[in-house]
Amino acid sequence: MARRERKSDKLPEGWLKGFIEAYDIQSTDDIKDALKDLIGGTVETMMEAELEVDLGYAKHDNENKKTRNSRNGNSPKTLRTEYGKVAIDVPRDRDSEFEPKIVPKHQRDIKGLDNQIISMYAKGMSTRDIADHIESLYGAEISAETISKITDKVLPEIKEWQNRPLKPLYALMFFDAIHYPVRTEGMVRQRAVYVAIGVDLDGERDVCGLWIGEAESSKYWLSCMNEMKNRGVRDILICSVDGLSGFNEAIRAVYPQTDIQRCIVHQVRNSMRYVSSKDLKAYTAEMKLIYKAATEEAGLMALDAFEEKWGKKYPAALKSWRSNWTELSTFFKYPPEIRKLIYTTNRIENFNRSLRKVTKSKAAYPSDIALLKSLYLAIHDLTAKWSKVQGWHGIFGQLMIIFEDRIQPGDYN
């Protein structure tokens, strides 16, 4: 195997040997100490070069000086780096106009450390755990408040992400809610986080919406639907939901042509809550005949038979099937490939479970903003691994025929 080319190969011959001898490097700790000194010297040299460009003349070169401004000594500054604390001298100008670009005036962290902190926060580590990790690894003390300020750097990015334009048409859209403990007004309360995951006509998935804290209602969901419409969503072919309160009314007000599928798995679970353990096996076997039927007509016949046997004993369960049948039976009109995608919200629930793995270390979030940062960073990591929906080519062909009057050439690649 060929030797990997290193940037150090381009340094003057003997440079590394001289570097090792100068710092008497005997261990990895010695390397860190040497690199800290090297970082400090490099930053200072770059700042001096920046000041020279800013003033327009080299140090002590008064003959070429064409400004009233001049150098005015240095001021000490301590930087936090991935190798520990580094003390530097920042050059000053007499008019206090110089603004270093390599490390701006109020910045005390080298960007590499910031990125590491944000990455650890994305993995679900608490600010205290991050502080302990940084101190044990690099010997740099950093407060939870400082870590919070560093992670605040993603807030403009989050705002841009939340307001980014969306696709004009989504083949599928899944909606669900997940709850997190958040400290508000001195008390820990459960805050609902509502998530919308869309599948476009190219089979690509995207988190289209993330909303925190509002109570479920038609008015609330209407604002979410209008937000997506304002961000460019002209139409949604099929929505899959978990019986979210007020959702049906809101989606029909904004996207009246959208088919709504209520999650069958949740319906089955809710129905089973009413059943005694001795009836459970027979009850679930006969209930399966309803949603495993080949057609809606056959499903209704199975529901009639199911009600005749179990209706008097478990009236609440049967009432739920009857009252929600319009949304429960939507999937019957589609071929098996599409039925498999829409009859349950398991796709978004699996996504929510992945979010919980990242956030489970938090006993409670100090604010909605802290929760939003954590979720956004986790979503960013999770969605980077997403691929196109399996078997999408065949599904897309079916959709093109079923919805030929609503799909436009510009809606897909």
Asked whether residue 148 falls in the same domain as residue 217, the answer is no
Q: Which of 153, 170, 203 is the last residue of a domain?
A: 153
Number of Cβ atoms within 10 Å of the Cβ of 128? 11
Q: Is residue 355 part of a domain?
A: yes
CA gap 105, 90 in Å, rounded:
9
Sign of the Cα torsion 17, 18, 24, 25 reads negative
Domain count, the chain: 2
CA gap 196, 227 in Å, rounded:
12
Q: What are the tokens at 10?
A: 């381009």
Asked whether residue 188 falls in the same domain as residue 128, the answer is no
pLDDT for the residue 1: 43
Q: Is residue 409 part of a domain?
A: no
Averages of pLDDT over each 10 residues, the chain, 413 residues: 53 67 78 75 75 82 81 86 79 86 72 69 74 65 74 86 94 89 84 90 94 77 92 96 83 94 90 89 93 95 94 90 93 93 82 79 81 87 88 93 91 83
Backbone φ, ψ for residue 92 (5° rounding): -120, 160
Q: Which of 153, 177, 198 is the last residue of a domain?
A: 153
Q: Which domain holds residue 127?
A: 14-153
Question: Can you tell me whether residue 319 is helix, strand or coil?
Answer: helix
CA 179-181-182 angle, to 5 degrees, is 120
The residue among 225, 226, 152 whose CA lies nearest residue 374 is 152
Asked whether residue 23 falls in the same domain as residue 138, the answer is yes
**Crossing angle of helices 15-23/28-55, nearest 10°?**
110
Q: What are the tokens at 382?
A: 């999770």
Q: Is residue 9 part of a domain?
A: no
Asked whether residue 129 falls in the same domain as residue 196, the answer is no
Q: Is residue 91 part of a domain?
A: yes
Q: Is residue 60 part of a domain?
A: yes
Q: Is residue 21 part of a domain?
A: yes
Asked whether residue 172 falls in the same domain as residue 214, the answer is yes
CA gap 318, 328 in Å, rounded:
13
Asked whether residue 130 falls in the same domain as residue 91, the answer is yes
Asked whether residue 262 falls in the same domain as residue 149, the answer is no
**Helix residue ranges, H only, 233-335:** 247-254, 264-272, 280-291, 296-310, 315-323, 325-328
Q: Is residue 1 part of a domain?
A: no
Asked whether residue 18 falls in the same domain as residue 103, the answer is yes
Asked whether residue 116 falls in the same domain as residue 240, the answer is no
Q: Is residue 407 part of a domain?
A: no
pLDDT for the residue 17: 75
Q: Give pTM, 2 decimals.
A: 0.71
Asked whether residue 334 falls in the same domain as residue 290, the answer is yes
Asked whether residue 147 falls in the same domain as residue 171, the answer is no
> How far from chain centre, in Å, is Cα 290?
37
Q: Which of 153, 178, 193 is the last residue of a domain?
A: 153
Are 184 and 369 within 8 A, CB to CB?
no
pLDDT for the residue 168: 95
Asked whether residue 302 falls in the same domain as residue 377, the answer is yes
